[in-house]
Amino acid sequence: MHEYLLTMRGIEKRFPGVLALNGVDFTLRSGEIHALMGENGAGKSTLIKVLTGVYQMDGGEIRLEGTPMVIRSPQDAQNKGISTVYQEITLCPNLTVAENIYIGRGKHPWVRQRDLEKRADEILSRLGIPARSTQLLGSCSLAVQQMVAIARAVDMNCKVLILDEPTSSLDDKEVKRLFDLMRDLKSKDVGIIFVTHFLDQVYEVSDRITVLRNGELVGEYLTEELPQIQLVSKMIGKELEELSNLGETEEKEIGKKEVFYEAKGLASSDALPFDFSIRKGEVNGFTGLLGSGRSESVRAIFGADKVTGGAVKIGGKPVKILRPVDAMKHGIGYLAEDRKRDGIIAELSVRENIILALQVMNGMFKPISRNESEAFADEYIKVLNIKTASRETPVGSLSGGNQQKVILARWLLTHPDYLILDEPTRGIDVGTKLEIQKLVLKLAEEGVSVTFISSEVEEMLRTCSRLIVMRDRHVVGELTGKDLNQTQVMKTIAGGEA
Amino acid sequence: MKKKDGKFSLGSLGQLTIPLIAIALLVVFNLIRDPGFFSIGISHNSNGNAVLSGNIISIINGASELAILAMGMTLVTAACGGQDISVGAAAAIAGSVFVKVLKSGSGISGGTVILAFLCSCIVAMLFGCFNGTLVAVFKIQPMIATLILYTCGRSIAYWINGGATPTVTSSIVNGIGSFIPGIPIPTPVIIVVVMALLFKLLFHFTALRLFTQSVGINGSAARLNGIDARFIKLLSFIILGVCVSVSGCIGVSRLGLINHETLLLDIEMDTILAVAIGGNSLGGGKFKLSGSIIGAYVIQTLTITLYAMKVSSTDVKAYKAIVIILLVVIGSPVIKERFGRWISHLRQRRVKVSAKGAEEG
């Protein structure tokens, strides 16, 4: 058998105006978990897409077990033993688990349902996946769905398994289960490429790390020989003093400032009644597990879901916020949790996406002129350091972090008094995360109130002066001052206070 | 030629490439077939006016209703991601109302014509409202929602004039349908230009284009940015209503009578086709009005060419279908991508060859 399972040498990929991959090398051995790391726009996704045949490379060579090969399409990649499980689950929730495992692969359309189910059950039990083959996929938890996607890939006799951000929507327990599955596959000599933003996870499972930056290879390292802090500095290409500095921001004293927004018994079709208030220049946050109701609560503040009750005051005056446009008129901005579904208008340009909210506030009959909008776009592309070929590039073709910056720019342009950021840093690289956190603190200094939601508690502790803790759709606690630490947050979330 | 300077690519003109090439091919084809096909002459019509005549004039004139409907349809398509198939039937209603009001007075003065047009406009906008409400509020698929009016529209038109097909004899109405004395350009063509300008002004003085595209591409995100998607969709149907009324009135004025059974019959499919040939996605989102207008002229040029080749009117549809299949396939993403790849491949080879030549030299 050949020494390396997969070698990619001098891979080059060009997009209009951008050199996305510049002579990148990547090597995968069989039976290893290899983390592919880099900031957004570093070229990870492009490299993966070249490997899976979504893109055709412009230069370089791919060898699988020593044999050079051209990968023409995702189907072709699969036939050659390269399978991918994407971040968003790309299976059909309304089909059964067995159907999902075998869909689109039926060389024999007359195969009996019963046989398929039997074979699916075998795979599921072999991989220790807690699902039945006859169950509808939609009735499984996200983690199990993710695992079914892996089972599908594994059953295609894959040699190379690519996991692209597989853990971003899983909770800790589910992540553990997924890692067990990965280790199991590793012992069966599958080579796994693991793309993620979670550093801890990289150190937990991976054997090797390859770091990319700006479309170029930084290096390949053994995980045990590369301290976490060095990994981060290699990814963002600078030393990490800034990162630690941000952690030690001075005690935030905003208790004396006036209250900007106050809600009593606010409820929506998706959120149970709750009280909430925020002062000028305050940064607070909602925390809790996924599904604890934190997103639903902020959506109620913005009027994103149907508001069913509650009294809201802004600057002491009672107001009615029933629709997003009401909230916007009162100076509230909302960056939604799901960037693709609720944030970007993918086919419109960066410029159009940036001016959208301001245009809505100006109203239909006061269009922002072309010159003006170009000036706005250029300004924010510069201020937020948005990496785009031009301001007329469709926003959908930018990397995730840069899309997020475009939406941030959209809200900053409206000069909000109160900005709600729901998971602004999800699926975003360390460098951009840091930029966003800094931006939040800078806004607060300028007197803007910010509500910040993140699944990473550490990140919230770093930025917020007050945390509202939610469990099972109820507010169960509020932490300030010295209570703002990881242990206390965990205790409150778990309900272990009493 | 563009091809020679090496900068030619399918992307350079964007979505207008295919319809423009189609028109160019049709023109070249006709010139080869009959060099005199596009000659423009001046003739005198029955009223003794000097007017322009020739195939090119009759193509541009004949496509007027289609072009106007295509503009409105583009907007509906962009906002709703679906099409209104009731435009022909709705135009019959609008035309009937137009005639009804014209006939209600004793004589037909300029004022009566304006009043009649306004009435027909309001009625068409109301029917647009009806369609729009079904689509925007009740979230019914546009084609299903407009199927209702498509089915019953011509019956409603029949009731309006009590089942008769009254004729209108008025020099003003005649002027709208053919020529205004002293102006050699057909009036419907002028109306198309006016409508196009009105749309241009609408997009210039409002943010309608941005809002419509946002709603069409990502309704959920548009809503969270404060855009009232329902209103935008409803508005697109109301604007289409205006277009329907204008083309209905042109159609009536051409003939000087209203025939609810045949007025703009089957025009809805040609309208949708014009939008598609214009390179607009029928799934909504980004749009170009100019594309749809050119699309309308492509269809009309094709029809007139076929008639000029003495193809019988029954056969015309079949021939049209063949050309349209070609256009749609060439414009499909698959072919565009292949073609783009092929062009860049050619270019690379040329670079290599010239590099080799330089080495050898």
Contact B221 A336 (CB under 8 A): yes
Contact A345 B218 (CB under 8 A): yes
CA B170 to the chain's CA centroid? 28
User: What are the residue ranges spanned by the domains of chain A?
Assistant: 6-245, 249-494
Measure B153 CA to nearest chain A CA, in Å.
Answer: 33
- The identity of residue A313, as a single letter, is K
Unique residue bearing structure tokens 């399978």:
A83
A91 contacts A148 by C-beta, under 8 angstroms: yes
Contact A342 B220 (CB under 8 A): yes
Beta A67-68 vs A307-314: how paired, if at all? unpaired
pLDDT at B31 over 80: yes
State the sign of the Cα–Cα–Cα–Cα dihedral B336, B338, B342, B348: positive
Beta A283-287 vs A466-471: how paired, if at all? parallel
Which of the four pLDDT bands, split at 50, 70 and 90, describes residue A17? low
- Measured CA to CA, the distance from residue A498 to residue A495 in angstroms comes to 7
| Among A149-158, A225-234, B11-20, B31-40, the range of highest mean pLDDT | B31-40
Strands (E), A129-273: 160-164, 191-195, 208-213, 216-222, 259-268
3-state secondary structure (DSSP) of residue B8? coil
Which of the four pLDDT bands, split at 50, 70 and 90, describes residue A251? very low
Contact A325 B228 (CB under 8 A): yes
Overall residue count recorded for chain A in this entry: 498
Query: What token pair was written down for A159?
Result: 């040699």
Per the model's pLDDT, the better-predicted residue between A391 and A270 turns out to be A391
* Residues of A with Cβ-Cβ distance to B285 under 8 angstroms: 347
What per-residue confidence (pLDDT) applies to B356? 62
Question: pLDDT tens digits, residue range A171-191?
Answer: 777 788 888 888 988 988 899
Question: Does residue B353 lie in a domain region?
Answer: no
Classify residue A369 by its DSSP letter: P
Measure A354 CA to nearest chain B CA, in Å.
Answer: 11
Contact A341 B220 (CB under 8 A): yes
Query: What token pair was written down for A354?
Result: 């940036």
* Residues of B with Cβ-Cβ distance to A334 under 8 angstroms: 224
Complete DSSP assignment for B168-220: ---HHHHHHHS--TT--S-HHHHHHHHHHHHHHHHHHHSSHHHHHHHHHH-HH
H or E stretch at B236: helix B229-255
Question: pLDDT tens digits, residue range B187-218?
Answer: 999 999 999 999 999 999 999 999 999 999 99
What per-residue confidence (pLDDT) applies to A239? 52
- The identity of residue A345, as a single letter, is I
| Sheet with A332-335: strands ordered across | A332-335, A418-422, A449-453, A283-287, A466-471, A474-480
Which of the four pLDDT bands, split at 50, 70 and 90, describes residue A247? very low
Strands (E), A16-81: 18-28, 33-37, 59-64, 67-68
Query: What token pair was written down for A494?
Result: 């778990």
Question: pLDDT tens digits, residue range A392-420?
Answer: 999 988 888 899 999 999 999 999 999 99
Contact A325 B207 (CB under 8 A): no
What chain B residue is nearest to A327 in terms of C-alpha separation?
B226
Q: Which residues contact A342 (CB under 8 A, 6 or more apart)?
A: A336, B220, B221, B224
Question: Does residue B357 lie in a domain region?
Answer: no
Residue B214 touches chain A, beta carbons under 8 Å:
yes
Question: Does residue B361 lie in a domain region?
Answer: no
pLDDT at B12 over 70: no
CATH code of the domain containing B110 = 1.10.3470
Per the model's pLDDT, the better-predicted residue between A366 and A241 turns out to be A366
A208 contacts A32 by C-beta, under 8 angstroms: yes
- The identity of residue B20, as a single letter, is L
CA–CA distances in Å: residue A410 to residues A373, A405, A442, B28, B301 = 11, 8, 17, 48, 45
Number of domains in chain B: 1
Classify residue A135 by its DSSP letter: S
Average pLDDT, chain B: 89
B185 contacts B56 by C-beta, under 8 angstroms: no
What chain A residue is nearest to B202 in terms of C-alpha separation?
A365
Report the range of poorest mean pLDDT among A70-84, A230-244, A446-460, B130-144: A230-244
The parent domain of residue B190 ranges over 2-348
Residue B286 touches chain A, beta carbons under 8 Å:
yes
- Measured CA to CA, the distance from residue A420 to residue A271 in angstroms comes to 16
pLDDT at A79 over 80: yes
pLDDT at B4 over 70: no
CA–CA distances in Å: residue A443 to residues A280, A356, A402, B83 = 11, 21, 19, 45
Residue B310 touches chain A, beta carbons under 8 Å:
no
What per-residue confidence (pLDDT) applies to B147? 96
Question: Does residue B295 lie in a domain region?
Answer: yes
- Measured CA to CA, the distance from residue B113 to residue B101 in angstroms comes to 8
Q: Residue A135, Cβ neighbours under 10 Å: how many?
A: 15
Average pLDDT, chain A: 85
Per the model's pLDDT, the better-predicted residue between B4 and B151 turns out to be B151
A365 contacts B206 by C-beta, under 8 angstroms: yes
Report the CATH number of the A6-245 domain.
3.40.50.300
- Measured CA to CA, the distance from residue A101 to residue B168 in angstroms comes to 69
What per-residue confidence (pLDDT) applies to B75? 97
Which of the four pLDDT bands, split at 50, 70 and 90, describes residue A341? confident
Contact B217 A359 (CB under 8 A): no
pTM of the entire predicted model: 0.77
pLDDT at B112 over 70: yes
Burial class (CB in 10 A: 0-12, 13-18, 19+), B44: exposed
Give the closest residue to A61 by CA, choosing from A6, A138, A134. Answer: A6
Residue B34 touches chain A, beta carbons under 8 Å:
no
Q: Residue B317, Cβ neighbours under 10 Å: how many?
A: 12
CA–CA distances in Å: residue A465 to residues A430, A487, A496, B99 = 22, 16, 22, 72
What per-residue confidence (pLDDT) applies to A449? 94
What per-residue confidence (pLDDT) applies to B297? 95
Residue B228 touches chain A, beta carbons under 8 Å:
yes
Q: Which CATH class is domain A249-494?
A: alpha beta
A395 contacts B253 by C-beta, under 8 angstroms: no
* Overall average pLDDT of the A147-176 stretch: 81
Q: Residue B309, Cβ neighbours under 10 Å: how many?
A: 13
Question: pLDDT tens digits, residue range B233-292?
Answer: 999 999 999 999 999 999 999 999 999 999 999 999 999 999 999 989 888 999 999 999
Classify residue A349 by its DSSP letter: B
H or E stretch at A333: strand A332-335
Query: What token pair was written down for A253?
Result: 């004293």
Classify residue A343 by its DSSP letter: I
* Overall average pLDDT of the B120-143 stretch: 96
Give the closest residue to A73 by CA, choosing from A45, A52, A98. Answer: A52
Burial class (CB in 10 A: 0-12, 13-18, 19+), B9: middle
Dihedral angle of Cα A61, A62, A68, A73, to the nearest 10 degrees: -110
Burial class (CB in 10 A: 0-12, 13-18, 19+), A145: buried
Q: Which of B204, B210, B217 would best serve as a mutation to test chain A binding (most A beta carbons within 10 A)?
A: B210
pLDDT at B130 over 80: yes
Report the range of poorest mean pLDDT among A223-237, A296-310, A437-451: A223-237
Question: Does residue B246 lie in a domain region?
Answer: yes
Query: For A377, what's the count of Cα atoms within 13 Å in the CB-facing half-sphere?
Result: 23
* Residues of A with Cβ-Cβ distance to B218 under 8 angstroms: 341, 344-346
Note the helical H segments in B53-86.
55-62, 64-80
Question: pLDDT tens digits, residue range A260-269?
Answer: 999 999 999 8
pLDDT at A114 over 90: no
pLDDT at A236 over 80: no
| Among A94-108, A247-261, A313-327, the range of highest mean pLDDT | A313-327
Q: Which among B207, B208, B214 is the nearest to A345, CB-wise?
A: B214
